[in-house]
Structure 1
Amino acid sequence: RKSANKSNEPLVWQWVDDADPSKIGDKEVRTAYRLNLPKCTSCRKNCQAKPTCLFGLGEAQWLSSPSHLEWENIEQKLEKQIEAEKRKEGELVGLKNLGATCYVNTYLQLWYHNVSFRNALYNLEYKDEDLALQQTLCGQLQLIFGLLESSISKSVDPSHFIKCLGLATDLQQDAQEFSKLFLSLLENTPSLSQVIKEQFCGQYTYVTVCKSCQSVTERPSNFYELDLNVQGHKDLKSCILEFLREEKLVGENQYYCTKCQSKQDALRKIALKKLPETLNLQLLRFVY
């Protein structure tokens, strides 16, 4: 059996049969679709005959003015939220993780706590010949450092800095590669070049000794970090000793000696020549 509302459905549209289409206006359309019916005030369930019935959607609370007590509750909740976001005296400021940006946040915190680098960045003055990209990156970095130092909030949102770099927030990148590329970019800024070299750039030499003629060849190289293998080691000292250990070049891996004009057995090692003020040690935790 059809309900009364459904059985009366055709009656609402009977006027269409005799109506002149050119004379159908907004009034007729609103009437046909029941949009002119008064809003419901005391329904126990949604009215099928009234599209304006908002029962169950909280319309009574939306359309009514909140009482004084309700306003006080809202204000108290907001105050608690604001207070929860405030940094307490002596606390450090954190960085929000935007999804997969923890590797960026880690380096931002490390660079911020390097006082020499931080001060050099604060004192950076832009010149007309500086590249716009470098200005933007340095400006965003200045802003983040300033907020990390003096923000009243517990955390800083690095969204603009991440966007400036063109990084995807949902894609995990290699932290070491990010550090190298970003520091090399900042190193092209004249005002920062010297402090970056002093604080982060070291130098070692690849030393090769021919076992036949005892000739020594050296190839210097700059580094921003030392890659240390941790497999089979129990402390940092043993990792560094392995990094500096002599390697025998024999068999198919023989060394071509320019003095002997032939391949010869040789010894090769890395000799540290200059360490930076801040030594970055990368622990190779993954083995393939």
Structure 2
Amino acid sequence: MGAASSRLEKALGEQFPEGERYFGLENFGNTCYCNSVLQALYFCVPFREQLLEYYANNKSAGDGEENMLTCLADLFSQISNQKKKTGVIAPKRFIQRLKKQNELFRSYMHQDAHEFLNFLLNELVDILEKECNAAKEPPQNSSSNKNLNGPVNGQANGSHKEPDTTWVHKCFQGILTNQTRCLRCETVTDRDETFLDLSLDIEQNSSITSCLKNFSSTETLNAEDKFFCDKCCSLQEAQKRMKIKKPPNILVIHLKRFKYIEQLGRYKKLSYRVVFPLELKLINTVDNSDLEYSLFAVLVHVGSGPNHGHYISLVKSHNHWLFFDDENVEMTDESMVQTFFGSAQEFSGNTDNGYILFYESVAKTN
């Protein structure tokens, strides 16, 4: 650990900007699921910058209520303001708040990193929207629709025709459209829904591209699954498919590695080999625009099942890859990413598998 730490210090001094910090996070018994997600979010630069801006704008409000957002902002501020480039920080206040907020994370059982990420992002959205609504008039409008509220700092302008979203939405939110085509009258019905991450079914010896193709493959609705066509005013056979209407700036992909096996009566981990490239073209968009994304973080699940194991994360920062395992931080090579694709064999001792992938858009904005 000492030798690795000194090597890291030397590399950080030579190859990284002065202002960057690379701190391990103390594990409080079973909090690797949390630590791995926090590292990925810290190195999601647009998210980090917005969070630190929020902290700077709100730290003087001493009478404010502590919540998940203030605790996370405080933690990120602590890390970014450290004098040393590397070390270990104990996210104690954040973990205490998490356990107080959600009983799911109070036990000492192994928790799911994807469930935690979902909970955290939705909790941040709820807090930002409530703060936004509280700054608006009249107060009875505070129950307005989710995902349609203004910016966090209370600078919403009532004259806007298009409602603003929170900065969490601006980082992670995309829009899916469910296209259903009646096979009798050919009418196409579009139904939109928002997402903060995409959960993809996986198969053995596949790739993210093939998983995305399957996600958007055409499904026929017939027999008892017929579609009610408004134009025909009756149930009809139809074809439906899901495509991405508005891609997010940060694309989070969750690989569904835990599958319930009826015969076993429990969940089993699928250690399938799924290739996730460093550069990804998003092929299943409505306008077929082939948007390009670049991988900057991988959450890895280590272990054979959902109820036990460990989480680590690989993060790309300033064109270099780093390995985060709770308190331990090491430099690594991008070739290490390939070791977490999974196993080509059904039964394998290799259980270190990519579980959540973070891609940032490198496409030109219009």
Shorter-chain TM-score range = 0.5 to 0.7
Secondary structure at the residue paired with 1:186? helix
1:168 to 106, 109, 118: 106
For residue 93 of structure 1, what is the amino acid of its counterpart? F
For residue 156 of structure 1, what is the amino acid of its counterpart? I
Higher relative contact order (CA 8 A, sep 6+): 2
* Aligned pairs for 1:1-288 within 5 A: 88-89=9-10, 90=12, 92-124=22-54, 125-126=57-58, 132-134=65-67, 137-151=68-82, 152=84, 154-166=87-99, 167-168=105-106, 170-187=108-125, 188-189=127-128, 190=132, 191=152, 194-288=166-260
Alpha-carbon deviation of 1:228? 0.9
Alpha-carbon deviation of 1:169? 5.8
Q: Deviations over 1:89-140 (max 9, x none)?
A: 5182111222221221122111111222212111212387x96143xx3332
Alpha-carbon deviation of 1:168? 2.0
For residue 246 of structure 1, what is the amino acid of its counterpart? T
Secondary structure at the residue paired with 1:109? helix
Secondary structure at the residue paired with 1:132? coil
CA distance in 2: counterparts of 1:161 and 1:230, whole angstroms: 33
CA distance in 2: counterparts of 1:233 and 1:203, whole angstroms: 29
CA distance in 2: counterparts of 1:223 and 1:282, whole angstroms: 12
Secondary structure at the residue paired with 1:93? strand
CA distance in 2: counterparts of 1:150 and 1:169, whole angstroms: 32
CA distance in 2: counterparts of 1:133 and 1:261, whole angstroms: 52
Secondary structure at the residue paired with 1:271? strand
- Structure 1 gaps, min length 5: 1-80
More strand by share: 2
Aligned sequence identity (%): 30
Q: Deviations over 1:61-107 (max 9, x none)?
A: xxxxxxxxxxxxxxxxxxxx9xx79x835182111222221221122
C-alpha contact 1:99 1:169 (8 A) present in aligned 2: no
Alpha-carbon deviation of 1:156? 1.5
For residue 211 of structure 2, what is the amino acid of its counterpart? C
CA distance in 2: counterparts of 1:107 and 1:283, whole angstroms: 15
Deviates more, 1:94-103 or 1:137-146: 137-146
Secondary structure at the residue paired with 1:231? coil
TM-score (structure 1 length as normaliser):
0.63
TM-score (structure 2 length as normaliser):
0.51
Q: Deviations over 1:159-182 (max 9, x none)?
A: 210101223261333322322222
C-alpha contact 1:200 1:279 (8 A) present in aligned 2: yes
- Structure 2 gaps, min length 5: 13-20, 100-104, 133-151, 154-164, 261-366
1:233–1:227 Cα change, 3 Å: farther
More helix by share: 1
Deviates more, 1:159-168 or 1:172-181: 172-181
C-alpha contact 1:211 1:264 (8 A) present in aligned 2: yes
The total of aligned residue pairs comes to 206
C-alpha contact 1:205 1:218 (8 A) present in aligned 2: yes
1:131–1:258 Cα change, 3 Å: farther
Q: Which has the larger radius of gyration?
A: 1
CA distance in 1: counterparts of 2:205 and 2:106, whole angstroms: 35
Secondary structure at the residue paired with 1:119? helix
Alpha-carbon deviation of 1:266? 0.6
For residue 177 of structure 1, what is the amino acid of its counterpart? E
Partner of 1:60: none
Alpha-carbon deviation of 1:157? 1.1
For residue 185 of structure 1, what is the amino acid of its counterpart? E
Secondary structure at the residue paired with 2:30? coil
